Structure 1
Amino acid sequence: MLFKRVTTPHIGWYGLGSMGLPMAMNLQRYLFNTQEPSLTYYNRTISAGGPLDELGAVAATSLSDLVEKCDIIFTMLANDKVVTQSVDTITKSDTPLDKKIFIDCSTVHPDTTEHVSKTLSALGAVFLSAPVFGGPAVAASGCLVFAIGGPRPPAVDICRYIEGVMGRKVIECGPEAKNASLLKIGGNIITLNMMEAVGEAQVFAEQTGVGTSAMEELITESFGPIAGGYSNRLTSGIYAPPLGTRPGFGVSLAIKDAEHALSLAKGVNARLPGVEIAHGNMQSARDYAGECLDSSSMYGILRMEAGVSFWNDASRQG
């Protein structure tokens, strides 16, 4: 399929969760500064777009309206089911999809990515998988790492909306979109193991009297700001935020990511013992304290196993 370059493309965005909103805000700032058409966005809870409105972005009335108005559409959605439902909505609309470009930044199973790619490509659209590495704070700073899989000419052209805008680096994963999803899940294996290890170290530090401050300084200085950031989620209480607030990265999303990794590993006869432990602890945390938890809430279970409360002094208390 040839890629038809659009001189002044209209960019769309669907999905304004804890990652999607800061990413979309950075993209709108870029479009404003380069005097390109404002970002058009849609979200199931449209009021979430208030910060985008303040930056000059424009709300669409529906997902179909968004697709009709835009040449390039980014999506950042919660899970495979939402991604699949969105594609069903798009394909059932009357809007021709020929040469439109869809870039999905969601973390989904490679089978979902492949299904979406085939479905949209069959209707003349271009599909790129572009999952990201980094949490909400990294998204807000525009320093995410993107993995991109899909047809090369569009993938290269799209990078101008990514590098220096929403991300600091793009890792090319070749012409198959599902390879970007595979790389993302591989990265999640590292992330989950790191969060589990940091939680274990902090419980050890607290129980032995070393202290969480000294341990956090060691983690940051020896293992870098990412590991230090995970430690800060624990010591600042972010692992269990106040009820009714939005966790940095919800525990159910992290459980979904762990299950994708475990499923794929099983299919190639590989074991992920660290992910198995993290997955079990996250499930236990959710069973104990509900949905309003960060992915790092495995720490609460590690605390309980050490004979202390799930909650620390900085977290909510129930």
Structure 2
Amino acid sequence: MKEFAYSRATGVEEAVSLLAGGSEARFLGGGTNLVDLMKSGVEAPDLLVDVRGLPLGGVEVTADGGLVIGATTTNSDLAVHPEVRRRFPALSQAVLAGASGQLRNVATVGGNLLQRTRCGYFADTSRPCNKRVPGSGCPAIEGEHHNHAILGWSDHCVATNPSDMGVALAAFDAVVSYETVDGPGELPLAEFYPAVGDTPHVETALPAGALITAVTLPAAPVAARSRYRKVRERASYAFATGSLAAALDVRDGVVHEVRIAFGAVASRPWRARAAELSLTGAPATAESFAAAADAELAAAKPLAHNGYKIPLLRNLVVSVLTELAEEAAR
């Protein structure tokens, strides 16, 4: 591992000032992704700015019934918070599905949003990777890609975003707040992760040196009946091969409101807006749920070895929405 300096920030202003001083500086939260990448040589910062001691933790209920989640809140604290479990149960379920208990105890909300892909070519510094070395190529397209993207990818990158938490946040229109040396700012999660295009190494729309300070979930009554379902290759801690965050409001047998987001299918959490549009006003039946999934997945472009994700996601949509509709009818 490359030698690096370490500084423990005592305030937000100090933290962003420290990072502004060097292009190879990084913020350190739980370090559950960053430190691994430093060990493998993918990341080589010359300065780590520890932000765990900043007063950016906790969960607060807003006046309209939404939530503000501090960036240094641990995943464990987020998952068990009573207001998260009551107002956004899919978020709690996603966090609990996302890692082992040991990792959740130290991983932070802000860090979760910034974690990098688990593509094997990205993690192997002996291989080319456009995310790691722009212009070097994407060997996953012709190589090992059974768990790579089927939506939104480009000829420059087919890696997927690994976050479970991000999928639930995408379903409920989360907004990311940040601080820079020039002042505060906000980014809707829908704009937080840019499309891959020909710049897959640009992984977020955050300004240079920005520190995530909070994530806001607007009030969403539909989220009270929501669920996160994750499919993985083993029952223990593993990244998703496909996942779904969904919420459903059914009135008189008709879908009044629905939220759907997919995970492990694109470079970012994938909000299934075509599926939502198809379902709104439709009967709350398995046939409608399947048609909505097909409307979203019509844009999928599977590679040679990951086409299984299309029926997997279709089945997830039908299964989870059917469960939510049956609960609403009780």
Q: Same fold (TM over 0.5)?
A: no
What TM-score results when the alignment is normalised by the length of structure 2? 0.27
More strand by share: 2
The normalised TM-score by structure 1 is: 0.28
